[in-house]
Copies of this chain bind each other. A is one copy, B any other.
Amino acid sequence: MKKLINDPKQVVTESVEGFGAAHADLVSVHPEPLFITRKDAPRQGKVGLVSGGGSGHEPLHAGYVGRGMLDAAVPGAMFTSPTPDQILPATTAVDGGAGVLHIVKNYTGDVLNFETAAELAEAEGVTVRTVLVNDDVAVEDSLYTAGRRGVGGTVLVERIAGGAAERGDSLDAVTAIAQRVIDNVRSMGVALAACTVPHAGQPSFDLTDDEIEIGIGIHGEPGRHRIAMENADGITGRLMEPILADLKVDSGEKVLLFVNGMGGTPASELYIVYRRARQLLEEQGIVVERSLVGNYITALEMQGASITVLRLDDEMVELWDSPVHTAALHWGV
């Protein structure tokens, strides 16, 4: 294993320390227990948004802390849920009196730990709502999940709900629009090569030189099936077909098309996938109204990509475009 790390046990701590120093204008790092808040948290009267999950998916979630997106991010160990003793103080730290929304990717550990933290926060007088992101159409249940996994759609939920919270929406309203994004977003991914978790020291799975995994999870957990390597247009078709079958977008509807790199895929390849995905949408008369292409929810250095399609309405577009200032998404300000 060759990695730019010191001690495998210190990867998250040292990385977050570097992140906090590089983005000290945006965030504060609370080292023990570890969580990251917006520099100006709590904001009185504003709904607080908290997300978190295992590390290794950067820039998710700490890269999305800032104006117009998250108020706090809670990083667990690599590919491991954060604990309630981290999530609780992150929640209370960003409560400005208007309540807090937990945005949770649907993995069993995350769901349980956020649930416990929410109960403890409620006992301390903080109103907490929770939404579960479950956009991955690849498998119904998985190694770490009952029900569908939460993947790329999470970035879109955080941005759009974050825009709603920033404009002053109530907790009920922010929760409702987060849920509306979840109801209208679907994703699926592919792996060409595995990643290596630092403390494991070995690739998380094996693929032969001519094999890819369709429907991979963001922790390298199994997808739908392994197939022989195909070209980009073929693979893109295999990802788009189940997304569109599940989402049922009609001709004339508007979508956001998000092509995400898993960490070890060149940008040039992501744009080749984007090109084909967009062609497939346009062939059906679907309008690609907004786009996002890049490494936004990764699996360390895994080679591969995921595609996410969000059915847009006018309010979602307005919130997507509203000012955002985080380490990884930044516009309008």
Contact = CB atoms under 8 A, between A and B. Distances in A.
A195 B56 CA distance: 22
B21 A274 contact: yes
Contact of A231 (B5, B210, B266, B333): B5
Interface stretch (A156-164, A245-253, A300-308): A300-308
Nearest to A278: B21
A24 to B, nearest CB: 9
B209 A2 contact: yes
* Contact size range, A: 35 or more
Interface string A1-45: 011111100011011111101110000000000000000000000
Given A264-B301, A267-B295, A232 B63 contact: no
B267 A22 contact: no
A193 B196 CA distance: 14
B56 A266 contact: yes
Contacts of A205: none
Q: How many chain copies does the complex carry? A: 2
Contact of A5 (B272, B291, B293): B272
Interface string A226-244: 0001011101000000000
Contacts of A3: 192, 232, 269
B6 A232 contact: yes
Interface in A249-275: 263-275
A167 interface: no
A229 B288 CA distance: 46
B267 A232 contact: no
4 closest pairs, A vs B, by CB? Answer: A18-B275, A18-B271, A58-B267, A4-B269
